[in-house]
């Protein structure tokens, strides 16, 4: 199996091809992070440098006119989503919102509410050791206060490629108005853009089995990993992560 870090934002075509090829062989992928597989990224021939151009998308700076074309490949930079390779297609979730304030501080995180999937016998092992009424990650993290979903978060979206067989073990909602949709998620700006209960602002836990016999598990949050060590790893984020790991390792792929 393969597990990513918490924020694999910059991905080259070789990286995406490698993961897709691995999944096609029956491999298992755990993505315990958020805002991953986002920017079209080039790697130099010597492997010492990467190149990112930002003519679109949610970004801290914009490529100046004439500087959107990548020098390593000659292609226009931007989002993998615009190239027909959205993160949802690979991992089930994709970057949807971030909570940065004008003071360069991030809004507080939120816990995940468990879904009806925990009552499905096919996924009982994922919830082993987790109280049925508990919110997942409803405790202090190492990063953004209380909650396992935060900083930059991702959601599922079937229109963007989340597989139809995907199951959603839980979701985090109720984020403050600090969390705003990513630029590429908006068609226009209007009064609804500042609503706290925007239906598109949420983080999803996703599990889906692949046609090759493997599986993918994603959490849609950079803050997830900062909750794993709470209370010496005796917590439901750590338990769920371990349950997923054990299930995937049983396939030995």
CA distances from 58 to 34, 115, 216, 239 (A): 14, 30, 26, 33
- Name the helix (H) or strand (E) containing 50: strand 50-52
Q: Which burial class, exposed, middle or buried, applies to 72 when counting CB atoms under 10 A from its CB (0-12, 13-18, 19+)?
A: middle
In angstroms, the CA 179 to CA 149 distance is: 12
pLDDT tens for the chain, 253 residues: list them: 999 999 999 999 999 999 999 999 999 999 999 999 999 999 888 888 889 888 888 888 788 888 888 778 878 889 999 999 999 999 999 999 998 766 656 778 999 999 999 999 999 999 999 999 999 999 999 977 899 999 999 999 999 999 999 999 999 999 988 888 898 988 777 776 666 557 789 999 999 999 999 999 999 999 999 999 999 999 999 999 999 999 999 876 5
């Amino acid at each position: 199996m393969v597990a990513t870090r918490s924020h694999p934002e910059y991905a080259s075509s070789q990286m995406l091809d490698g993961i897709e090829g691995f999944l096609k062989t029956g491999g298992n992928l755990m993505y315990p992070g958020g805002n991953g597989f986002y920017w079209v990224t080039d790697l130099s021939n010597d492997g010492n440098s990467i190149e990112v151009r930002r003519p679109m998308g949610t970004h801290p700076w914009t490529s100046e006119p004439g500087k959107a074309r990548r020098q390593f490949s000659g292609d226009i930079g931007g989002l993998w989503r615009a190239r027909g390779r959205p993160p949802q297609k690979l991992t089930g979730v994709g970057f949807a919102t971030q909570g940065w304030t004008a003071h360069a501080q991030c809004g507080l995180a939120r816990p995940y509410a468990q879904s009806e999937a925990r009552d499905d016998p096919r996924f009982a092992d994922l919830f082993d050791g987790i109280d049925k009424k508990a919110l997942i990650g409803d405790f202090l993290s190492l990063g953004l206060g209380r909650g396992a979903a935060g900083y930059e978060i991702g959601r599922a979206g079937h229109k963007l490629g989340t597989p139809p067989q995907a199951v959603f073990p839980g979701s985090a909602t109720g984020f403050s108005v600090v969390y705003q949709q990513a630029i590429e998620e908006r068609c226009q700006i209007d009064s609804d853009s500042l609503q706290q209960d925007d239906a598109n602002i949420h983080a999803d836990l996703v599990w889906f089995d692949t046609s090759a016999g493997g599986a993918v598990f994603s959490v849609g949050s950079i803050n997830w990993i900062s909750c794993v060590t709470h209370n010496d790893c005796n917590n439901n984020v750590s338990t769920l992560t371990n349950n997923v790991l054990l299930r995937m390792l049983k396939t030995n792929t």
